[in-house]
Chain A
Amino acid sequence: MSSRTNISCLQEAKRVAIFGGTHGNEMSGITLVNMWIQNSAEIERNGLVVKPFISNPRAVEKCTRYIDTDLNRAFTPENLSAPDVEGLPYEVQRAKEINRMFGPKGSSDAYDAIFDLHNTTSNMGSTLILESSTDLFNLQMVHYIKKAMVPHTCSVLLNEHPQLKYSTTRSVAKHPIGLEVGPQPQGVLRSNVFESMRTILKHALDFIELFNSGVEFPPCTVDVFRVQERMDYPRDTNGNITAMVHPHLQDCDWEPLNRGDPMFLTFDGRTVLYEGANTVYPTFINEAAYYEKQQAFMTTCREILAAYAIRKACK
């Protein structure tokens, strides 16, 4: 007996935003958004409005990650409900403003989708970052993007970890998507990285246009890397790092790390091995901005997520 496939009917995504400069020294997104603010032809699509937006303009001005505090950690319920008083850190004020413009977070008035553009010094290639394993719209979009990019690969990072998940700028939207492309030094614009990010966005907007026009997307699966653990550098009693990422691990994002594999190399030449019981897939290996967040890399495990078919809900 054949069973009818489940199809999820979802609301159209009519209001979409593209955020660049959440970190003021991650140049691909800043450059793309500024370009599209001047001339939006490339990002226009039928059936939706796409707003390019610089999220942290003061940090962009100074070409620094943030002014007072990391904007991409600032969208906590506490910050978003903080009263408007003098002396609030710049990014907390900004988070409240962004929540007013594109949220409120969690409400039906919030933007349908926000793409938040980031670069990393890690060798992650093109990566899409999801915050939920059950957001069908996002899963289908990511599946579409990955297929469209073949033969280029695009990894999918899922951060649903209760402690390690953080309150991102994009989280004000119903469907938040992070784009992370590397390796690229902070403050530098590399042509290949810029063009990769541009291409990912092109496919993402194509997907939304198709979805809004009524196209049905069949059930699919998505290979993801699920965040497990944050691994810090070995440090001395003063908090200074005493070792570097080992040359065998450096640049090996998404490759298996097994028990007994080299992990760190101390400044005086000693190797520190990975002691975990299970094979993990490290990512964000040697990201510049994470030295101060006590993170040398993150471990992930591989998982396959399934998504039902989706189509636009009929009115």
Chain B
Amino acid sequence: EEPVVAMPTVSRVAVCGGTHGNELAGIYLVREMLKKRADGTEPVSVVTVMSNPRAAQLCVRYVETDLNRCFTRAALSAPVSETSPYEMIRSQELNALLGPKASAQAVDLLCDLHNTTANTGLCLITYSDRDWICLHICKHLQFPYMLDICYAKAYLCPTSVSISMEIGPQPHGVVRSVIFSAMQEGVQLMMDWICQFNSGTLFEGGWVDVYTMVKNIDYPRDSETHVITAAVHPNLQDRDFCLLHPGDPMFLCFSGETLRYRGKEALYPFFINEGAYYEKGVALSLARKRRVQIPSQHTLGLLDY
């Protein structure tokens, strides 16, 4: 007999766009959602938030520091003043609005909208490896890539269930209509799942492929100047989630030399050539794929925990 998991309803949801101010699909989607006035008949209460309005105004990733790294316990409890970096002040504001993190008042589910210059397609990112709701949503969206970045405790996730929806490829500062439409549809399907779940639908269990982050790979750099000396190899460029085998080309040096993947284990590359990661020393990330079985699931009912 397969287990059936019963969980509380997802009564309060937050959708956040513009955590990075130049990732435009989420910004325009949040603006559209904010135009529609709630009339009280919605089955789920949704808070729509522009996470980093100053960065969105300037169309930059961040004004002083990456907002999506300001949600550690330390950052959220640090004293802030007018002279603190804008994003440090903002993360505490968001935590108060949507959380506080890990408290009973926190929204039940937060969906953070992102774009990447990498060819990831539609990708859902969780921060917990036992996140049945995220996994069921992934199944309901018909298997976008499901990324599990457990270690990333600093990301925008002040709530019990946190999903980042990452869609690429899209250049920063550009909105591509197919990317916008995919994001709009992804959010809609997620809301459909939540509504059905809240009204008592039983969702059958099954299997979901989850990619778990193993390591980051930096560009080859000049030992003195730290300037990069190669670009992602044309054979690897745009091949996110295509298995990379030992010996496969990774970088094409400006000198013409090919550098190959020297790891012993074949792994799945993702975030290949993301523009914002040059300054973080990341050319691509590598993940292991595993099948995760998810139980059938339904809500406990309308009782809140």
The chain A residue with its CB closest to the CB of B256 is A195
B31 in contact (CB, < 8 A): yes
Name the contact of A190 in the complex, choosing from B59, B231, B278 (C-beta under 8 A).
B231
* Chain B stretch 40-93: residues in CB contact (< 8 A) with chain A: 59-60
Do B178 and A247 touch (CB < 8 A)? yes
Pick the interface stretch among B13-21, B158-166, B169-177: B169-177
Name the contact of B237 in the complex, choosing from A63, A121, A191 (C-beta under 8 A).
A191
B220 in contact (CB, < 8 A): no
Give the chain B neighbours of A63 by CB distance below 8 A: 278-279
- The dominant DSSP class at the B interface is loop
Do A246 and B254 touch (CB < 8 A)? no
Give the chain B neighbours of A292 by CB distance below 8 A: 59
**Which of B169, B232, B233, B254 counts the most chain A CB atoms within 10 A?**
B254
Give the chain B neighbours of A121 by CB distance below 8 A: 171, 173-174
* Chain A stretch 201-243: residues in CB contact (< 8 A) with chain B: 240
Do B231 and A186 touch (CB < 8 A)? no
Do B173 and A186 touch (CB < 8 A)? yes
B123 in contact (CB, < 8 A): no
CA distance A286 to B173 in the complex (A): 10
B276 in contact (CB, < 8 A): yes
Query: Which positions in A face B, CB cutoff 8 Å?
Result: 31, 34-35, 63-64, 121, 183-192, 194, 240, 244-247, 250, 265, 267-268, 286-289, 291-292
* Chain B stretch 235-289: residues in CB contact (< 8 A) with chain A: 237, 252, 254, 273-276, 278-279
Give the chain B neighbours of A185 by CB distance below 8 A: 117, 169, 171-172, 174, 275
Known: A31-B254, A188-B273, A190-B273. A288 touches B231 (CB 8 A): no
Do A191 and B234 touch (CB < 8 A)? yes
Do B177 and A240 touch (CB < 8 A)? no
B303 in contact (CB, < 8 A): no
Do B234 and A192 touch (CB < 8 A)? yes
CA distance A194 to B233 in the complex (A): 11
Name the contact of A187 in the complex, choosing from B169, B180, B237, B276 (C-beta under 8 A).
B276
Do B117 and A250 touch (CB < 8 A)? no
* A233 shortest CB reach to chain B, Å: 10
Name the contact of B172 in the complex, choosing from A183, A187, A268 (C-beta under 8 A).
A187
CA distance A183 to B238 in the complex (A): 13
Name the contact of A188 in the complex, choosing from B28, B117, B177 (C-beta under 8 A).
B117
How many inter-chain contacts with C-beta < 8 Å in the A-B complex?
81
* B130 shortest CB reach to chain A, Å: 35
Query: What would 23 A/B residue contacts be, using CB atoms closer than 8 Å?
Result: A31-B254, A121-B171, A121-B173, A185-B171, A187-B172, A187-B275, A187-B276, A188-B171, A188-B275, A189-B228, A190-B273, A191-B231, A192-B237, A194-B254, A244-B175, A244-B177, A244-B180, A245-B176, A250-B176, A267-B180, A286-B176, A288-B174, A291-B59
Do A250 and B252 touch (CB < 8 A)? no
Name the contact of B231 in the complex, choosing from A194, A240, A250, A286 (C-beta under 8 A).
A194
Give the chain B neighbours of A191 by CB distance below 8 A: 231-234, 237, 252
The chain A residue with its CB closest to the CB of B219 is A189
* B129 shortest CB reach to chain A, Å: 31
Give the chain B neighbours of A35 by CB distance below 8 A: 254
Do B171 and A288 touch (CB < 8 A)? yes
- Across the A-B interface, the 10 shortest Cβ-Cβ residue pairs: A185-B171, A288-B173, A191-B231, A187-B275, A244-B177, A185-B117, A121-B171, A188-B275, A288-B174, A265-B177
CA distance A291 to B59 in the complex (A): 10
Give the chain A neighbours of B218 by CB distance below 8 A: none
CA distance A187 to B280 in the complex (A): 13
The chain A residue with its CB closest to the CB of B117 is A185
Do B177 and A186 touch (CB < 8 A)? no
The chain A residue with its CB closest to the CB of B253 is A191
Do A247 and B177 touch (CB < 8 A)? yes
The chain A residue with its CB closest to the CB of B236 is A191
Give the chain A neighbours of B59 by CB distance below 8 A: 291-292
CA distance A294 to B171 in the complex (A): 18
B32 in contact (CB, < 8 A): yes
Give the chain A neighbours of B171 by CB distance below 8 A: 121, 183-186, 188, 288
Do A187 and B177 touch (CB < 8 A)? no
CA distance A246 to B181 in the complex (A): 11
CA distance A202 to B173 in the complex (A): 31
Do B278 and A187 touch (CB < 8 A)? yes
The chain B residue with its CB closest to the CB of A267 is B32
**Which of B28, B177, B233 counts the most chain A CB atoms within 10 A?**
B177
* B115 shortest CB reach to chain A, Å: 10
Do A291 and B237 touch (CB < 8 A)? no
Do B177 and A250 touch (CB < 8 A)? yes
The chain A residue with its CB closest to the CB of B170 is A185
* Chain B stretch 98-130: residues in CB contact (< 8 A) with chain A: 117
Give the chain A neighbours of B254 by CB distance below 8 A: 31, 35, 194
* A21 shortest CB reach to chain B, Å: 13
**Which of A191, A194, A246, A287 counts the most chain B CB atoms within 10 A?**
A191
* A245 shortest CB reach to chain B, Å: 6
* A272 shortest CB reach to chain B, Å: 12
* A241 shortest CB reach to chain B, Å: 8
